[in-house]
Amino acid sequence: MKIGILALQGDFELHGRMLSTLSVDVAYIRKPDQLNSCNGLIIPGGESTTLTKLMRGAGLFDPIVSFAKNNPVFGTCAGLIVLATDLVNYNLDTLGLIDLSVERNAYGRQIDSFIDSVEFCIDGKTDFFEGVFIRAPKIVTIGENVKVLGTHDDNMVLVESEQVFVATFHPELTDDVRIHQYFVDKIRKSR
């Protein structure tokens, strides 16, 4: 199994380290043809406007949409924003791959970033995860085919649809591999 990580901006190398810890092969994606050898894709955080411009410039926008039809995609923070169908407080052309509305920078500016416990329920088990929220978005609404897996203070912070998995926080900034393990397992189940 090989997982691609969009490597145009953001903490893509930290996602790579998490996957290496799980003994998963990694490909850093900068060109469309690099997706061909991948079974899944991670779109990391960064700045959503810049990220979409870089994706368009690299010719990756439409290939990622096509890739997601048959392969799981995981987006964190700005990656979530880029995957959403709707932004409530900003005009941005997104990939539209998960039926949800999101608010950019919902918790405030960089100085308002924080770390706090996230409650998540996966495979019927409830547990807690350290959530690193950096200029984090908030999921405002979700479509009927989107399932909530994690919350923080009654806010949805970890959700999935059939092929797309997103987090408003940065699991790659912790030493806890469970969120990445869940994505790896999601890919295995889809194959």
Contacts of 117 (CB under 8 A, 6+ apart): 128, 129, 130, 131, 152
On whether the pTM is more than 0.75, the answer is: yes
185: helix, coil or strand?
helix
Residue among 15, 152, 160, 172 flagged as catalytic: 172
DSSP state of 92: -
CA angle 6, 30, 106 (to 5 degrees): 35
Q: Which CATH class is domain 2-190?
A: alpha beta
Residue among 15, 152, 170, 180 flagged as catalytic: 170
Confidence of residue 25 (pLDDT cuts 50, 70, 90): very high
The one-letter code for the residue type at 20 is S
Residue among 77, 152, 160, 180 flagged as catalytic: 77
As given in the structure block, the two tokens for residue 22 are: 């799980």
172 is catalytic: yes
170 is catalytic: yes
Residues 41-89: tens digit of each pLDDT: 999 998 999 999 999 999 999 999 999 999 999 999 999 999 999 999 8
